[in-house]
Structure 1
């Protein structure tokens, strides 16, 4: 698997995990963190990583 495809898949998986936390972990109490906020951060990181994967794939082809 190429680096670009790996980044794209890992970013998409991170985004989906963050989306699940944001949607379904609102009632869970965890000390020190709020899981919904962690989900939002994970969605941001996952989206950035997926964009990086797309960028790497586009640069390789050009």
Structure 2
């Protein structure tokens, strides 16, 4: 299983790539999908990864202090 730091880092990278796609690809057209919509999806997935990393960090800390 991946460490919480890895989840947080992957989420931050995905969020950054999604934000770049959302901001800078409005005039580029691809027949299959829109890059700005792909950017929003990547930002959402990245945000979920970041929240999951924070959750795992908090739950591991609370588990250690309770022992």
Unaligned stretches of 5+ in structure 1?
none
Deviation at 1:23, TM superposition (A): 0.1
Structure 1 residue runs of 4+, over 6 Å off? Answer: none
1:60 aligned onto 2:60: yes
Whose radius of gyration is greater, 1 or 2? 2
Unaligned stretches of 5+ in structure 2?
63-67
Q: How many residues align?
A: 61
Distance in 2, matches of 1:27 and 1:37, equals 13
Question: Per-residue CA shift, 1:3-51, capped at 9, x if unaligned?
Answer: 1000000001100100000000111111210000000010000000000
Distance in 2, matches of 1:38 and 1:9, equals 20
Other-structure match for 2:26: 26
Q: Using CA pairs under 8 Å that are at least 6 residues apart, name the structure with larger relative contact order, 1 or 2.
A: 1
Cα RMSD, aligned residues only? 0.9
TM value normalised by structure 2: 0.87
